[in-house]
Amino acid sequence: MVEICTVGGFDEVGRNCTAVKVGEEVVIFDIGLHLENYIRYTDDEDLVVWDTRELIKVQALPDISAIEDWKEKVVAIVPTHAHLDHLGGVPFLANRFNAPVICSPYTAQVLSRIVKDDKRVFRSQIKVLNCNGTYKISNNLKLEFFEITHSTPHTVMAFLHTPEGIVVYANDFKFDLYPTLGKKPDFERLKKLGEKGIHCLVVDSTYAGSPIKMPSESVAKQLLKDVMLGTDSRKKAVVVTTFSSHIARLRSIVEFGKKMGRKIVFMGRSLSKYVYAAEDCGIAYFSKDVEIVKYRSQVKKRMRKIMKEGKSK
């Protein structure tokens, strides 16, 4: 029998966590943060607060007491991608389970950097599974990844093969036929996986009520190009904001910044983690074109320098 516990993320944006019990074995998909609650509590987005009980109390972490009876049965933790609302709780809670963390290469690199940068004691083994690879969890359970387009690299749909059929966990994705980083979805393989017999589908529903299709990242790139290259920015600094994990968008920003003849500076500790993780995986290389300013004190110092240089021109 297959049982599913919706631990977090089903009535909110954040704290994503779903536990699937098959017989006497449990697989946890995602352990995420509620970023708004976390930042409200810590006044920071870096994962440096250690009191997990307090973070659960303020609803920044999923309340895993919901699966307390399943704790000893957990055989794998599977974060599907590198966004903190799916991955950010792993450094806090994974040690409570005697199970490996299985994730795609980029997600694994981001997790490793979070653990290393924050000097955490992290006992769980991180197993890297290629974006379309398979992994035998046990005699009864096999995990298969299906790479899907999203706003961070190496996002996967997770297919859990069980004696009852396949349980699909498909959280956070879009069908982008013209991505600027990575490949478009392999719909033929997706169809073949579906034909093997889907027992249950757990699927993202954010903006499902909207009647429009989300445009491709190629469209976003063109819009960004129009703004960056089409705006008169002579004798002015240009400030561009984006998610730290949006490597495709960052590549576009660098591309157009170079065409503008600008010196490009990435600022922030979170941004540096995601950028260096991308370089570790060979996804993108920024260091030769970009100055990366990591710590808050360095950011303030660099901003003062930019302002001083700007006034002298």
Tokens encoding 233: 């920015």
- pLDDT tens digit string along 41-55? 877 655 565 688 889
For the segment 86-103, the average pLDDT, to the nearest whole number, is: 96
Task: Please provide the average confidence, as pLDDT, over all residues in the chain.
Answer: 91
d(CA 39, CA 85): 12
| Sign of the C-alpha dihedral computed for residues 43, 45, 50 and 55 taken in this order | positive
- What is the pLDDT at residue 46? 57
The stretches of the chain forming alpha helices (DSSP H) are 35-42, 52-57, 84-87, 90-93, 105-117, 187-195, 217-230, 247-259, 269-281, 296-311
| Owner of token pair 């309340």 | 63
pLDDT over threshold 70, residue 94: yes
Split at pLDDT 50, 70, 90, the class of 140 is: very high
- Domains, the chain, ordered by start: 2-203 (3.60.15.10), 217-311 (3.40.50.10710)
For the segment 146-165, the average pLDDT, to the nearest whole number, is: 96
pTM of the model: 0.91
The burial of 196, by beta-carbon neighbours within 10 Å (0-12 exposed, 13-18 middle, 19 or more buried), is given as exposed
- pLDDT tens digit string along 207-224? 788 888 889 999 999 999
d(CA 277, CA 114): 10
- pLDDT tens digit string along 187-210? 999 999 999 999 999 998 777 888
